Structure 1
Amino acid sequence: MDKKSTVFTATHGVMTTEVGVISGALELVTECNDDGVLTLAITYAGAAEWYTLPGEEYRLYDVRDHEVVHEMLVRVLERP
């Protein structure tokens, strides 16, 4: 299981399944298992409660793409 974590600032917010939109200093964690299934979780930086991003099962064709997809998600979520 490969895990990536990045703290970033979301000025316009990020939609979550549990509580709707959250914004500010956030942390995104993505995990990818050996079958390419991605788990996406987000929280306020330093908080204990994690939220999921909306959508169905996320899967990578090639698990080597995990780092690129993680960085791409961060860049999209933090853009103004």
Structure 2
Amino acid sequence: MEKLSSTFTASHGVMTAEVGVISGELELRTTCHEDGVLSLKITYVGAAEWYTLPGEEYRLHDLRDHEVVHRMLVRVLERG
């Protein structure tokens, strides 16, 4: 299992499954499990509670793509 984490500013907000839209200084954590399942969590920088990004099960066909997918998600969420 590999975890990657990045901080970014979401001025237009990011939708979460639990609380709706959050914005500001956020941290994205992606976890890639051995079977390729990708977990997407987000929080306010420094906060203890993590939220999930909406959607169905995310899966990578090649575990080596985890870093690239993580960076793309950060850029897209940052863009708004």
TM-score range, shorter chain: over 0.9
TM-score where L is the length of structure 1: 0.98
Q: Within 2, Cα distance between the matches of 1:20 and 1:72? A: 22
Structure 1 residue 45: Cα displacement: 0.3
**3-state SS of the aligned residue for 1:28?**
strand
CA RMSD of aligned residues (A): 0.6
Partner in structure 1 of residue 9 of structure 2? 9
Partner in structure 2 of residue 73 of structure 1? 73
Partner in structure 2 of residue 22 of structure 1? 22
Partner in structure 1 of residue 61 of structure 2? 61
Number of aligned pairs? 80
Segments of structure 2 that go 5 or more residues without pairing to the other structure are none
Partner in structure 2 of residue 33 of structure 1? 33
CA deviations on 1:17-71 (whole Å, 9 max, x unpaired) are: 0000000000000000111100000000000000000001000010000000000
Structure 1 residue 3: Cα displacement: 0.5
Q: Within 1, Cα distance between the matches of 2:42 and 2:34? A: 22
